[in-house]
Structure 1
């Protein structure tokens, strides 16, 4: 009877070596990004209290005794000192908070003025998104280095997903006693950092995977295309935007900060009566077809016959808008008042559009109106931001950010201790080059789901194939 020869130890570990090689490449590329995102993300978790502390003179006021001043008086006070028109009015969430009034200048630049609602005194201004939290968010998204930075975020998030998957495969117990749930050795030894990296990674890997996936909606290609697809198939933004109401060609994201699911939502149009707006004949002819994509101008000047911001706020308060909501002011004679609020609990998200002349509610949409994909992604985004479950959500993510940073540091130290002189220290290839090809092909499945990451994976795979003369081990 013929017996099958026992496989050599090298043969048994060939799959491990191939996975290790791609895990190394993933870490080499993505660890600096992950460490950066962990640090900036931890700071963003506590944006509101930090903003109140840093910008205390702008954001905190003495609670008003008696009736506060009107919104129109506050806007008039701002426009008396600002070179532009008001485009957004935001009420405070707390009784000791200031009103925030967004002003757009003639060249398109935007500033936010802070006003004491009790006295209508202008406290000062900052550039739009110029608060501490605004800067941290731009740092977190790498937006400060250009619009193409979202492509780097998408690539890094895709590689982070591969990093978690390959890391779990490398951690999986194969009879060893250490490095599974305990750390061996001392800090001077590479073994200590290897075990620390493995144990930390397996505990925080699920959170890292979740954060990478829920961060994808902001990415350049994947996020944009999924948003367009979801909103085109009734699984993204509310079906309410497709009711038989005259719609403009303006998007909600053009007027105010909005949720991911609402970025493609078009604004309805106000009904323009002839007595309210005497337009040239050509413009009147176009407005007669406003239900088929009517145009909203960028004119922020108050329109004759409009109810005004004070009456609009009274109506929005009357329908129960949550505290801290913003109102985007109408643009041109066909524009609408758009109130939006995005509290910590995703179920309280709400967007309401109002006719600027009659005060009639044209559309009233909330989280329950989103499609299935929209609800799922919005919930994930809210958890990602540390908002959905309040203090518990923030504390868990803060600990996760610290663990992710430790994961990056331990990986870097482990590599530094094993790197050879004059090389990057790539893990050795298995003797069977077919094993490397199989692992590479499996990873390419993820590249299909996330195209930018897939393109970078293909580039690295081709370079590795060429430099190793066809994945031949030395």
Structure 2
């Protein structure tokens, strides 16, 4: 049986083609931004190198004095959090809220000189994070990214179906590309073989990124409510407001990663009701420092109606994160939550997010993520080249449908399963099918350009 006579082959090929044209721009942007974000620790260490290699004599000022210096830089500002120095030569990092803007202030720990100030949301990696997760468009961008992610999953699954070696005569073009058999075979093999090697890692990255998406994240919360697996708070955010820190009780973002992934433990919209005695911060730091939590360690002021202080290890490897509630007078630990104490669903998502960000198993995790994202860029470029070379003049170049298409029960089952797991995919699929049936197929010029006219037997 020839490849193209297989049931579902042409239908899968057509949807692979249309999904590819839609997804290519998004895949390139998200892959490049994701590649950059994989190396966030190295990039931020380089950006902050001038503030982490100070020549200090040992006469360190207290944390409260360092915070006071930061507050004096922005008159009328309020204290948000203090980051424990990671190295003995590090400057103090203090986040204050000036007006409606959270500001990160780098303070010399001995002289109290202000070394640098920057709005939290203007930092390079915060900008990359928003580009990667929402195309700098807030929740609407998040929905668009999710839609592209859903269809990219479909694209990869359909690509594996098309790659499957039904009549292969050797491993060339199956497990390795034939590089010297002409440009047509070169680009086809690059596309199919690279796709085969990276598909499973790419699908994993796409699935583990969904909890951050606005639509799927809300859907996931509803599923957890129905199944009785919901928790009071989760360790990641899926709305633009939460990610930017605007939902924190004092209106300012906490530490960049803390706010990016919804780490605040306070209620949205709450405000600081009583002035904070900064001297208490010294007590909190003295109690938290000996715990040797993984950096960065953030000590946050009380917020809303709760008088408790909060300390959190906000390490990128979420499996090592710790959150602690502190007594407002003595700094004693009132409650401690380690990763192992969380609900199994949150632990599973935490593992996935840590791997997604390249933080779960060190440099090899970053390397695997980098190869996958670069492979996705190569897939997009090779797919675009293949389309451009095969298209006829004056038409889109889509594979024509069969006169009597055959769709198997297996294909329908996969579509239904994907629709249940990816509701935005299901909604968009129904929309596209209705649009084609009610409008596009009824206008001859559009019908011909889109390739909706069945091929002659």
TM-score (norm 2): 0.84
Q: Using the alignment, how far apart are the partners of 1:239 and 1:138 within structure 2?
A: 22
Residues 1:33 and 2:26 aligned together: yes
How big is each residue's C-alpha offset from its partner over 1:295-320, in whole Å with a ceiling of 9 and x where there is no partner? Answer: 953347215xx861001111122444
Whether the aligned pair in 2 keeps the contact of 1:298 and 1:331 (CA below 8 Å) is yes
Q: Using the alignment, how far apart are the partners of 1:11 and 1:404 within structure 2?
A: 26
Structure 2 stretches lacking a partner, 5+ long: 236-246
Residues 1:162 and 2:154 aligned together: yes
Distance 1:224 1:99, change over 3 A: farther
**Of the candidates 105, 120, 145, which is equivalent to residue 153 of structure 1?**
145
**Of the candidates 8, 15, 40, which is equivalent to residue 22 of structure 1?**
15
Query: Which moves more between the two structures, 79-88 or 408-417?
Result: 79-88
Residues 1:309 and 2:281 aligned together: yes
Hey, what does 2:272 align to over in structure 1?
298
Hey, what does 1:435 align to over in structure 2?
407
Residues 1:215 and 2:214 aligned together: no
Residues 1:49 and 2:42 aligned together: yes
Q: Using the alignment, how far apart are the partners of 2:319 and 2:139 within structure 1?
A: 31
Whether the aligned pair in 1 keeps the contact of 2:83 and 2:92 (CA below 8 Å) is yes
Whether the aligned pair in 1 keeps the contact of 2:16 and 2:155 (CA below 8 Å) is yes
Q: State which structure, 1 or 2, has the greater radius of gyration over its C-alpha atoms.
A: 1
How big is each residue's C-alpha offset from its partner over 1:61-108, in whole Å with a ceiling of 9 and x where there is no partner? Answer: 3153325211111011111111311111112323333221111123x2
Structure 1 stretches lacking a partner, 5+ long: 1-6, 242-248, 269-292
Hey, what does 2:242 align to over in structure 1?
none
Residues 1:192 and 2:166 aligned together: no
Query: Which moves more between the two structures, 85-94 or 199-208?
Result: 85-94
Hey, what does 1:183 align to over in structure 2?
177
In structure 1, the residue corresponding to 2:121 is in which secondary structure? coil
Hey, what does 1:281 align to over in structure 2?
none
Hey, what does 2:363 align to over in structure 1?
391
Shift of 1:250: 7.6
In structure 1, the residue corresponding to 2:95 is in which secondary structure? strand
Hey, what does 1:351 align to over in structure 2?
323
Q: Using the alignment, how far apart are the partners of 1:33 and 1:179 within structure 2?
A: 27
Q: Using the alignment, how far apart are the partners of 2:220 and 2:9 within structure 1?
A: 34
Shift of 1:219: 0.4
Whether the aligned pair in 2 keeps the contact of 1:444 and 1:457 (CA below 8 Å) is no
Shift of 1:149: 0.7
**Of the candidates 75, 81, 96, which is equivalent to residue 88 of structure 1?**
81
How big is each residue's C-alpha offset from its partner over 1:410-446, in whole Å with a ceiling of 9 and x where there is no partner? Answer: 1110111011212211112123234399846742431
Shift of 1:239: 9.8
Alignment of 1:112-123 (within 5 A): 112-123=104-115
Residues 1:138 and 2:111 aligned together: no
Distance 1:42 1:222, change over 3 A: same
**Of the candidates 417, 420, 429, which is equivalent to residue 445 of structure 1?**
417
Hey, what does 1:417 align to over in structure 2?
389
Q: How many pairs are equivalent?
A: 431
Hey, what does 1:473 align to over in structure 2?
454
Q: Using the alignment, how far apart are the partners of 1:259 and 1:115 within structure 2?
A: 20
Q: Using the alignment, how far apart are the partners of 1:54 and 1:265 within structure 2?
A: 25
In structure 1, the residue corresponding to 2:315 is in which secondary structure? coil
Shift of 1:345: 3.5
Shift of 1:112: 0.7
Alignment of 1:90-105 (within 5 A): 90-105=83-98
Hey, what does 1:272 align to over in structure 2?
none
In structure 1, the residue corresponding to 2:337 is in which secondary structure? strand
Whether the aligned pair in 2 keeps the contact of 1:238 and 1:365 (CA below 8 Å) is no
Whether the aligned pair in 2 keeps the contact of 1:355 and 1:361 (CA below 8 Å) is yes
Whether the aligned pair in 2 keeps the contact of 1:85 and 1:301 (CA below 8 Å) is no
Hey, what does 2:239 align to over in structure 1?
none
Alignment of 1:221-240 (within 5 A): 221-227=215-221, 229-230=223-224, 235=229, 237=231
Shift of 1:224: 2.8
In structure 2, the residue corresponding to 1:301 is in which secondary structure? coil
Q: Using the alignment, how far apart are the partners of 1:66 and 1:232 within structure 2?
A: 56
Whether the aligned pair in 1 keeps the contact of 2:253 and 2:259 (CA below 8 Å) is no
Distance 1:404 1:184, change over 3 A: same
In structure 1, the residue corresponding to 2:178 is in which secondary structure? coil
In structure 1, the residue corresponding to 2:157 is in which secondary structure? helix
Query: Which moves more between the two structures, 311-320 or 222-231?
Result: 222-231
Residues 1:368 and 2:340 aligned together: yes
Residues 1:426 and 2:381 aligned together: no
Whether the aligned pair in 2 keeps the contact of 1:250 and 1:296 (CA below 8 Å) is yes
Residues 1:456 and 2:428 aligned together: yes
In structure 1, the residue corresponding to 2:271 is in which secondary structure? coil
